[in-house]
Homo-oligomer: A and B are copies of this chain.
């Protein structure tokens, strides 16, 4: 038996946002159907080289594939080694016999599946005629979220503010040429989010940026940045007047944006309306009217990697892409 090897160039060729949105939607449904087995994440820190490795492992009973993703972050890589800061590999094992059927670069997949998460949330939580997005941050996720939203909503304008101001111009150029949407650079976060239909927060911040009074009725907020204890981008008061939806309650109350209003006693876990998979499965409702403020808090799950990588593997086999190697 052989193992299919897909390098970064091949994964890039096979990866696209519409497919990833379908994969992530399936992942969320599977999670709430109890079809996903996801052991705890394990990590190693290598402080002497300013690096760390996270290992995410998950089994999907619907694809019958075990996926193992190792993702490293080494912050001195560009300067010291001319390597990217983030590197990842994903290996897929046949759940029926444990054979490693595919090994692929995983560096791009996390970005796509996290972007797709916001897109999936917009499907059930944003107003259908949402035309403007306010984006906080101008890094990779600030791009991915807008790319995904463009697949779901009739977007016409992006307003962006980043704490790293010098990133903004490049962001404008890239998004405008890639998506053909106008991008407005803002001097203040308030200007970026006020009056927009959708707000995306995608920074590594640890203090509230988006204030409660800037958020109009009907807004959908996609909270992406917070994925660890101590991270924060939203004024926790927003939660008291919003319909709160998360990817995974257990994770979000500890590591997502939701940790903050809970810590401050503004909400309790019971105020969380749903996990998004419940809405996608139809067991809970999504947006009910044009006045609701909705928040989607995403912390990321192994099953998203699993489903996205499975789809890439399947496409690669169909198209004859990749190299067959003998490993075992």
Contact = CB atoms under 8 A, between A and B. Distances in A.
A57 B39 CA distance: 14
Interface stretch (A79-87, A204-212, A310-318): A79-87
Contacts of A98: 51, 53, 72-74, 77, 83, 87
Q: Is the interface of A mostly helix, strand, loop or mixed?
A: strand
B57 A42 contact: yes
Contact of A57 (B48, B55, B325): B55
A15 to B, nearest CB: 14
Interface string A7-43: 1110000000000000000000000000001011011
A66 interface: yes
Nearest to A106: B328
Contact of A70 (B42, B68, B77, B83): B68
Given A37-B44, A42-B39, A55-B55, A49 B7 contact: no
Contact of A97 (B44, B68, B81): B81
A326 B83 contact: no
Interface string A91-106: 1010111111001110
B105 A93 contact: no
Interface in A43-81: 43-46, 48-49, 51, 53, 55, 57-59, 61, 66, 68, 70, 72-74, 77, 80-81
Nearest to A39: B42
Contacts of A328: 7-8, 87, 89, 105, 107
A53 to B, nearest CB: 6
Contacts of A80: 96-97
Nearest to A43: B39
Contacts of A39: 42-44
A62 to B, nearest CB: 12
A222 interface: no
Closest 5 CB pairs of A and B: A72-B98, A39-B42, A81-B97, A7-B326, A74-B98
Interface of A: 1, 5, 7-9, 37, 39-40, 42-46, 48-49, 51, 53, 55, 57-59, 61, 66, 68, 70, 72-74, 77, 80-81, 83, 87, 89, 91, 93, 95-100, 103-105, 107, 323, 325-328
